[in-house]
Amino acid sequence: MIPILSHTDAQTVNFAIWAVVLPFAAFVLNLLLFNKNRIAALVSTVGIVVSLVLAIKVFTSVWNAPVIHAQITWFIIGATKVQAGLLLNNLSVLMLLLVPMIALPVHIYSIAYMKDDEGYSRYFRYLSLFCFSMLGLVVVDNLIMLYAFWELVGFSSYLLIGFWFTRQSAVMANKKAFIMNRIGDIGLLTAIIILFTLFGTFDIQALFGKEGFVQLSNIAAGMWAGPHSAIPAVWQYVAFAGIFLAVAAKSAQFPLHTWLPDAMEGPTSVSALIHAATMVAAGVFLLGRVYPLFIESELTILAIVGCFTAFMAATIALTQNDLKRILAYSTISQLGFMVLAMGIGAYASSLFHLVTHAFFKCLLFLVAGIVIHQMKHIKDDNNLDIDPQNILHMGGLRKKLPLTFIVTIIGALALVGFVFTSGYLSKDGILIQSFVWAEGKSAVFTIVPYFALLTSVLTAFYVARLVVKVFFGEFRLQKVNPHIHIHMGDGNWLYKAPLVFLAICSLFPLFSNSPVFYEDAWIYKSFLPSNFLVRENIYHTIIPILVNLLAVFVMYAAFAFYGKRNAWSFPQTGLLYRISYNEWYIDRFYNRVIVKFVMWFSNLLYWFDKKVVDGLVHLFTRIGKSLATIAAWLDRNIVDGLLHLIAGIVQAIGNFARRFQGGKVQYYLYSMLLVLAFVFIFKMIWT
Amino acid sequence: MITQQDFMIISVMLFCIGVFIIVSKKNAIQVLIGIELMLNAAILNLVAFGKLDRANNGGQVFALFAIVLAAATTAVALAIILNVYRRYKTIDPDKINQLKD
């Protein structure tokens, strides 16, 4: 390996490699040995446990220490040498730790959650494959491997969304997710190619590291100049657009976000791991990796898109009735916050929010899983025709699921950004920095922080609505059908342990020893550039207080609306309601315009293929066939005929001649006489 | 007056009858008789033209030779017919067709 690593560094690199490879080993083992076996769950879980232990070791030795960058030569094309290796810096080891830390509770939870499913071992196989791809994605050091793992993550997500592939909706959902992710993949590939064209390397450290090529490059006089060569500046914007597409697809940002709500067709535990905590964070992680690439205006675009996504998703979440869909839109909203944070330069806060969000959103999804599971039991026990995910059927579950209720409150408060939770530390950090960012800019940009603040308030409202509808009031299903048989509970320790673990992780002590000041959080400090702002202005005090007060007020309002069932409620016919309920008509727009156009175009191409291309081929076939028929006729009648004619003549002569050789003496004499007679006749004629 | 021409006509008639017997009869003995007739037609010719050679009587002498030879060949032919009969149990020339390849 080049450069030569010290002993401890080499050990760390080995640990990191093993942490990545173990889930893959579990995947292979499950595929080959435990194809239809329940041991598969154990294999996958052990794999992720060991992976977690190794990740902790790697984390402790790399965190806030010099970057470890180990690589070997992968292949050489001409003069270009492509290296493959590991890049362990703060960002990658944080993700390396986060992924198994979220994956482990999900694995344990899944053992119980999936135990009655036919595809039990298949499920764990896919889960291991996903963990491998995600871990690989965060540690690799070059863009080619990053791209490969990026695709693998998308693919394993595709497999898991379509896990119940007998359902038509699941198949549609995974197709949609896959196609939308492909759009992002094209963007990423474009960006990689542009970067390679200019800088001649795929190495992330060489490109984006300190004093890397990207930092040394500059845009001047319409040219984007790297250290060795220069290309027109427009390619820089194209590269940004590509990266943005990739991020938007993977992290469900505005134009490409519609796959995520549909992806909730997968098992809930999968949604918890992939579509809430890890995979969707890959886009933000990518932003973190290539952060030096962006110039000022591009960051502003990121901020605006992130803010818009956060706001839009929050408004949609207000009116949805599907438990998982609400959480999905909430995830999109929070991812919007992360992208917004990246855009305003709050790099540290963005990653901090990524980590805290992973814990509390995973927790909320696991809770949703339990609730849906119980509702499904009721549905199956009583032969009811209801949607087990619809929150309108629920209510009053806090008495029946006490532990679930407590952890939900913790998760919900963290999502709202209430003080004492981890969400407070990370999200309020983003809000404060967005106000600071907007201060020096024109009035247009001040919309961004206010919208972020508004989103935060909306978040408080829809979270409160969700909690109240599910856990407070009366059990509406029982109210409608008074005779149903209900038997529900928190479940065994396989359900409880992950919930408790994640709930503890959603509180502030894991991240900071001060519950109030986000600047004290250790993750935040480690990512901070040297010139960070101290608590210098008024926002640092006002914003958190404002957010919390508003949140309390809004949550109380929601409680009053939904819990107490006062005489009045929201109108369900207004324009705003319809926009929100129909998810801003974005999906419908895509279906009506883009999908329709693509289908029309495909049909056109199909027609062209069938009529013109196939027609030509058929024409050639027909010409060939008729030519062949003529040739066959000629062959049979002329060529063969000639031969047959000759053969026939010879045969006839033979037949004629053999009559003279009948073996009868008298015939011989007779023929002799005839010959003699002819001789005499000829002689008489000629003379 | 019997002329030279009358002898020739008799001789031709005899020859033709002999040929007809040879190709038409279904009995080897009769075929042999046909052969004898043809031979005798030739001998008749020899005798008829022998009249022109008064000095040496070559025609008459040659006719005598031919008659003796004819007797000898007839004996041989009868012996062959006997052997054929022993082998094929028939003397019909149509049935004896083993001369073919």
pLDDT tens digits, residue range A217-235? 888 777 888 777 888 888 8
Mutation target to probe the A interface, by most A beta carbons within 10 A, among B12, B16, B22, B81 is: B22
Per DSSP, helices labelled H in A447-506 are 447-471, 476-480, 493-505
Residue of B nearest to A669 (CA): B23
Under a CB-based contact definition with an 8 Å cutoff, are residues A160 and A130 in contact?
yes
Question: Domain spans of chain A?
Answer: 1-141, 354-572, 588-676
DSSP string, A604-648: HHHHHIIIIIHHHHHHHHHHHHHHHHHHHHHIIIIIHHHHHHHHH
Interface of B with A (CB under 8 A): 19, 22-24, 31, 93-94, 96-101
pLDDT at A569 over 70: no
- Confidence at residue A2, expressed as pLDDT on a 0 to 100 scale: 47
All residues of chain B having their beta carbon less than 8 Å from the beta carbon of residue A669 are 22-23
Stretch (H or E) spanning A552: helix A539-558
B95 occurs within a structural domain = no
Band the pLDDT of A431: cuts 50, 70, 90: confident
Please indicate whether residue A532 or residue A216 has the higher confidence score (pLDDT).
A216
- Confidence at residue A571, expressed as pLDDT on a 0 to 100 scale: 60
Whether A666 and B23 lie within 8 Å, measured CB to CB: yes
Band the pLDDT of A79: cuts 50, 70, 90: confident
Q: Mean pLDDT throughout A339-352?
A: 87
pLDDT digits 0-9 by tens, A27-63: 888 888 877 777 888 888 999 999 999 999 888 888 8
Dig out the tokens for B56 from the structure.
């040496």
pLDDT at A300 over 50: yes
Question: d(Cα A212, Cα A663) in Å, to the nearest integer?
Answer: 111
Lowest-pLDDT choice from A368-382, A451-465, A560-574: A560-574
User: Average pLDDT over chain A, rounded to whole?
Assistant: 85
Closest of A317, A314, A330 to residue A365, by C-alpha: A330
Chain A (394-413) residues lying within 8 Å, Cβ to Cβ, of chain B: none
Ranked by mean pLDDT, the top range of A461-465, A481-485, A560-564 is A461-465
Closest of B48, B38, B46 to residue B7, by C-alpha: B48
Residue of A nearest to B98 (CA): A663
Domain that holds residue B31: 4-88
Under a CB-based contact definition with an 8 Å cutoff, are residues A676 and B23 in contact?
no
Residues 6+ apart with CB under 8 A from A374: A397, A400, A401, A488
Residues 6+ apart with CB under 8 A from A259: A173, A176, A177, A180, A181, A249, A252
All residues of chain B having their beta carbon less than 8 Å from the beta carbon of residue A673 are 19, 23
What is the crossing angle of helices A402-416 and A347-382, to 10°? 150
Q: What is the β-pairing status of strands A223-225 and A68-77?
A: unpaired
Residue A286 CB-half CA count within 13 A = 33
pLDDT at A621 over 90: yes
- Confidence at residue B15, expressed as pLDDT on a 0 to 100 scale: 93
CB atoms < 10 A from the CB of B72, how many?
10
In terms of C-beta density within 10 A (0-12 exposed, 13-18 middle, 19 or more buried), how is residue B96 classed?
A: middle
Residue of B nearest to A661 (CA): B100
SS3 A507: strand
pLDDT digits 0-9 by tens, B35-92: 999 999 999 999 998 888 888 888 899 999 999 999 999 999 999 999 989 988 888 8
Which residue of A663, A669, A673 is in closest CB contact with B100? A663
Amino acid identity, position A224: W
Question: d(Cα A425, Cα A512) in Å, to the nearest integer?
Answer: 8
In terms of C-beta density within 10 A (0-12 exposed, 13-18 middle, 19 or more buried), how is residue A196 classed?
A: middle
Please indicate whether residue A571 or residue A370 has the higher confidence score (pLDDT).
A370
Residue of A nearest to B100 (CA): A663
Residue A322 backbone dihedrals phi, psi, to 5 degrees = -85, 125
- Confidence at residue A1, expressed as pLDDT on a 0 to 100 scale: 41
All residues of chain B having their beta carbon less than 8 Å from the beta carbon of residue A671 are none
Closest of A417, A269, A403, A315 to residue A357, by C-alpha: A417
DSSP string, A170-230: HHHHHHHHHHHHHHHHHHHHHHHHHHHHHHS--BHHHHHSTT-HHHH-EEETTEEE-SS-E
Whether A666 and B97 lie within 8 Å, measured CB to CB: no
pLDDT at A630 over 90: yes
Band the pLDDT of A530: cuts 50, 70, 90: very low
CA distance B79 to chain A (A): 17
CA distance A687 to chain B (A): 23
Number of domains within chain B: 1
Chain A (657-676) residues lying within 8 Å, Cβ to Cβ, of chain B: 661-666, 668-670, 673
Identify any residues that bridge with A86 across adjacent strands, giving them in sequence order.
A70, A140
B31 occurs within a structural domain = yes
- Confidence at residue A551, expressed as pLDDT on a 0 to 100 scale: 84
- Confidence at residue A646, expressed as pLDDT on a 0 to 100 scale: 95
Whether B93 and A664 lie within 8 Å, measured CB to CB: yes
Interface predicted TM-score of the whole assembly (ipTM), two decimals: 0.78
- Confidence at residue A488, expressed as pLDDT on a 0 to 100 scale: 75
Question: d(Cα A105, Cα A77) in Å, to the nearest integer?
Answer: 44
Mutation target to probe the B interface, by most B beta carbons within 10 A, among A658, A659, A669, A680 is: A669
Q: Mean pLDDT throughout A529-537?
A: 55
SS3 A150: helix
Whether A663 and B97 lie within 8 Å, measured CB to CB: yes
Under a CB-based contact definition with an 8 Å cutoff, are residues A459 and A331 in contact?
no
CATH number of the domain bearing residue B63: 1.10.287.3510
B101 occurs within a structural domain = no
B93 occurs within a structural domain = no
Q: Mean pLDDT throughout A85-95?
A: 86
Lowest-pLDDT choice from A166-170, A256-260, A541-545, A596-600: A541-545
